[in-house]
Amino acid sequence: MSKALRVLITGAAGGIGMATAQVLANRGHSVVATDISAMSGLEGIQAHVLDVTSDDSVARCLEEVGPLDAIVNNAAISGGGPVEGYPLDRIRQMFETNTLGALRVIQAVLPAWRKRGSGVIVNVSSVNGRVSSPLGAAYSASKFALEAFTESLHLEVRHFGIRSVLIEPGNIAPGMKASESHEGPADYAGLWEQWAGADTKMTGPSGRPGPEVVAFAIASAIEDPSTPLRVPVGQDAEMILGLRRSLDDQAFEDAMRKAVGLTW
């Protein structure tokens, strides 16, 4: 392992965030695990409250934790529904957390990192940040935006010795808990029914990997300066993104429809 680093993780109360905190701590790093609510019982890990949708909360937390070497922007919310009728306030909330929340933390650390000439930004995106799906437009759009910001950021700050990495998990167990489901007009009920098992069909015989797989990818991205801008994680992510690169739009749609049995 490289030298011990001070790493802040958002959305660390469970899932990928918690697994990443534990993996990094086990590898000797100094970990600050944050979430919107207070956490306890994290042995060897410093816990802080951080609401990524609040400028004051971000500023206060970063002042309390002191200098950082890396940040992992993992805080996110999910949800599904057709574009027609999907509540605009929920879309705004999704962007506020998934996209602008990451940017708040990034903007807060960059001035000091730029002067110092080092730092690592890891943004947890999704395969849905590269490929959208039916009933997932809002979540995908927030992750597409995060990818665009990160790609530009990568080009802007590498000159200052600051690295930017996108982690793109596929379907990870136990998965994100959606803030709502089956939104939209009743006429879309048939699509909901067909799409319900799509993730399972795409993971292959080995099933969904656990959050630890993503955590190890994040730890590697922090420690290894040769990590590329984008890191897909999971068999389904690699397969989907591979197909997207090699097929035109119609051929890719046909392949996805066949893979999940979508006749809608």
Integer CA distances (angstroms), 156 to 102, 151, 160, 175, 222, in order:
17, 9, 8, 33, 19
Nearest 5°: the CA angle 225, 231, 237 is 165
229 contact partners, CB below 8 Å, separation of at least 6 = 150, 151, 154, 164, 165, 166
pLDDT in tens, 203-221: 665 667 899 999 999 999 9
Here the tokens at position 95 are 């962007």
Distance CA 223, CA 217 (A): 10
What is the reported pLDDT for 67? 98
22 contact partners, CB below 8 Å, separation of at least 6 = 45, 215
Catalytic site positions: 139
pLDDT in tens, 12-57: 999 999 999 999 999 999 999 999 999 987 889 999 999 999 999 9
If you average pLDDT over residues 84-96, what whole number do you get?
A: 95
What is the reported pLDDT for 180? 45
Read off the amino acid at residue 202.
M
Here the tokens at position 71 are 């940040």
Task: Name the burial class of residue 41, with classes exposed (0-12), middle (13-18) and buried (19+) by CB atoms within 10 angstroms of its CB.
Answer: exposed
What is the reported pLDDT for 179? 45
pTM tops 0.85, yes or no? yes
Q: How confident is the model at residue 101 (pLDDT cuts 50, 70, 90)?
A: very high
21 contact partners, CB below 8 Å, separation of at least 6 = 9, 12, 31, 33, 42, 45
What is the reported pLDDT for 208? 78
The topology under which CATH files domain 6-185+210-234 is Rossmann fold (3.40.50)
The continuous run of DSSP H or E covering 155 comes out as: helix 137-157
Domain boundaries along the sequence of the chain: 6-185+210-234
Q: How confident is the model at residue 132 (pLDDT cuts 50, 70, 90)?
A: very high
Q: How confident is the model at residue 176 (pLDDT cuts 50, 70, 90)?
A: low
Distance CA 130, CA 198 (A): 17
* Local structure of 230: helix, strand or coil: strand
Work out whether the CA dihedral 144, 113, 23, 105 comes out positive or negative: negative
